[in-house]
Structure 1
Amino acid sequence: MEKHGLESAERKWKIVVVILLVTGISGLHLLITHEFVKGHIVARELYFIPVILSGFWFGLRGALLTSVTVTLFYLPYSAMHWNGFTSDDLDRLLEIVLFNVVAVVVGFLQDRQQARNKEKFESIKAMAATVAHEINTPLFVAMGNLELLQDDFEKDSVPYEEITGVMGSLGQMKELVKKISLLEDIVTEKYDGTAVIVNLDKSISGKSPENAEDS
């Protein structure tokens, strides 16, 4: 739940950034006088920033939404200064086309990359579930046999205590297997300063291993 909340907050501020960029750049067009042609050209090129950011952040759908919004903001300026298919008019039309072309290209590439990452992660989840299943079977057999063996000894005897220790270790393995089966993300952290390991507690779903067992 905490992770989803952070993702939602991050998405909201990204949307705010895009909105501020589009409105701010559009405001520049209104503030810059028509005689200052280079200023308008610079402001027009700045429109590519929110379009590209939207592609990286929100994929094809978000990029197209931004490029269409930019087009709607920029069209009135182009119409107001239309001189009948002059080179400047064609240049402005070309820029409008480029806004949308860039949005499609960046958004499509980002969506494809996300699809590949999702496919890889689904493969990792399937492998983790398989490993968890394969470990669980002999683990339960071993714990069951140890419980039967433990009944043959007195509680205060050395063998009884040793078996209890072994069962405790197997219990830790059981909890580890549960966490692997709940894998919902890959959250890594540095271990021993150099190695990178998966933090299972942060990578599992919202349910704890205990709740997963109850369900």
Structure 2
Amino acid sequence: MRLPGSARISLLAVFIIGISLFHYLTPLHLPALHDLFQRLYYLPIILAAFWFGLRGGLGTAVVVSILYVPHVLFQWGARPSLELEKFLEILLYNVVGGITGYLSQKEEERRNELERAARRLEDSYRTLRGQADLIIGIEEQLRRAERLSALGEMSAMLAHEIRNPLGSIRGTAEILRDDFSPGDRKFEFLEILIKETDRLNRVVEDFLRLARPLDGEKKRCDLAAELRELVTLQESEATARGIGLSLEAGEAPTVAGDRERLRQAFLNLILNALQATGEGGRVAVRLAMRGASGDMPAGVEITVSDTGRGIDPAQREKIFTPFFTTKEGGTGLGLVITQRIVEAHGGTIGLESEPGRGTTFRVWLPV
């Protein structure tokens, strides 16, 4: 335990006064004890030198000298040889105090310099670590941008090469289906064909949404009103599935954004939550204002929570990867589109999930 400065000074004073009292109160016919007490003065001098450096060592030596000189003059004055020896001892007190204090002070300065160097190295390490994390994040964004760019180019070709034939196939299947009754196997095959063309058409539409530029005009958008409308539109779907759907929208300012794109992003999250939740479960949508914290400025946070089966930890890193899906018949593009919309508005999206207990998506948008 490191003693405070006042405690150290008090301890030194007790040492010096105690040794001086022993000197003055011990009879002169006990020279061995006086020699012992004389040597004991080195303890407070060396301690002061270690604790307070050059000034501490010299200052304590001077105090000891002042207290010891009267004893030498008045009690040992009748013995000149001993008196000379005592004065030489006093001189040695000051030499020891000065040298020890000087060396201790230099050592303390060196230790402080090493500590400052260590702190500078630690700050440099933290800075480099932060820069490395930033570079890794930028590289990941570049890789994602490259993937999205490739998807955009491919989606443009798909729109031309697939969408028109899909319409023709679906129209032909509907015409052929009218020639058969619902119980006929050919009727069932044509139903499957129509459903599959619809699914393929949804994939093409998702590709188009992914390729569509997101730099449109941004206007003031009331998120609370938009979320209320989306929840109202999905209440019938939630009721049909036996799922409770609720909205909690507190006071929140408007944000600058593309109203239709933001609606699409939040609709994707709500639909995903409903599809991931079984009968008897709940989906909760919340809107709240979040104050500035750390490097994050003030903004609006939208959370969509479900009580579904959750997402396996091994799959969370892939959840925003194109074509990755855990849903049967899913395209794996819904969350990619949602992430792109949120980031285009200067926001962030993340998720928290625990297998068997549900998932929460958190969207933060600047105000």
Alignment correspondent of 1:110 = 104
Are residues 92 and 24 of structure 1, via their aligned partners in 2, closer, same or farther at CA, if it must alter by over 3 Å?
A: same
Q: Which residues of 2 match residues 1-215 of structure 1 at below 5 A?
A: 9-81=3-75, 83=77, 86-143=80-137, 161-162=316-317
**1:88-112 deviations in whole A, cap 9, x for unaligned?**
1110100110111110111111111
Q: Among the aligned pairs, what percent are the same residue?
A: 26
**Could you tell me how far apart the structure 2 residues matched to 1:163 and 1:55 are?**
64
**Could you tell me how far apart the structure 2 residues matched to 1:39 and 1:26 are?**
12
- How far apart are residue 35 of structure 1 and its match? 2.6
- How far apart are residue 138 of structure 1 and its match? 2.9
Q: Work out which of the two has the higher radius of gyration on C-alpha atoms and give 1 or 2.
A: 2
Which structure carries more strand by proportion?
2
Give 2:316's aligned amino acid: E
Structural RMSD (CA) = 3.3
**Could you tell me how far apart the structure 2 residues matched to 1:163 and 1:64 are?**
70
Are residues 35 and 135 of structure 1, via their aligned partners in 2, closer, same or farther at CA, if it must alter by over 3 Å?
A: same
**Could you tell me how far apart the structure 1 residues matched to 2:79 and 2:14 are?**
32
**1:163-188 deviations in whole A, cap 9, x for unaligned?**
69xxxxxxxxxxxxxxxxxxxxxxxx
- How far apart are residue 58 of structure 1 and its match? 1.7
Which structure carries more helix by proportion?
1
More deviation, 63-72/124-133? 124-133
**1:189-215 deviations in whole A, cap 9, x for unaligned?**
xxxxxxxxxxxxxxxxxxxxxxxxxxx
Are residues 131 and 163 of structure 1, via their aligned partners in 2, closer, same or farther at CA, if it must alter by over 3 Å?
A: farther
Structure 2 unmatched runs, 5+: 146-209, 211-264, 273-310, 320-367
**Could you tell me how far apart the structure 1 residues matched to 2:61 and 2:9 are?**
14
**Could you tell me how far apart the structure 2 residues matched to 1:163 and 1:100 are?**
75
Q: Is the 8 A contact 1:146 1:163 kept in 2?
A: no
The number of residues matched between the two structures is: 158
**Could you tell me how far apart the structure 2 residues matched to 1:85 and 1:111 are?**
39
**Could you tell me how far apart the structure 2 residues matched to 1:136 and 1:35 are?**
75
Q: Is the 8 A contact 1:48 1:99 kept in 2?
A: yes
Are residues 121 and 93 of structure 1, via their aligned partners in 2, closer, same or farther at CA, if it must alter by over 3 Å?
A: same
TM-score when scaled to structure 1?
0.62
Are residues 163 and 18 of structure 1, via their aligned partners in 2, closer, same or farther at CA, if it must alter by over 3 Å?
A: farther
**Could you tell me how far apart the structure 2 residues matched to 1:88 and 1:74 are?**
14
**Could you tell me how far apart the structure 2 residues matched to 1:22 and 1:95 are?**
16
TM-score when scaled to structure 2?
0.38
**Could you tell me how far apart the structure 2 residues matched to 1:116 and 1:163 are?**
52
Structure 1 unmatched runs, 5+: 1-5, 165-215
- How far apart are residue 145 of structure 1 and its match? 6.3
Q: Is the 8 A contact 1:55 1:103 kept in 2?
A: yes
**Could you tell me how far apart the structure 2 residues matched to 1:35 and 1:66 are?**
28
Flag the structure with more relative contact order, 1 or 2, with Cα contacts below 8 A and sequence separation at least 6: 1
Give 1:161's aligned amino acid: R
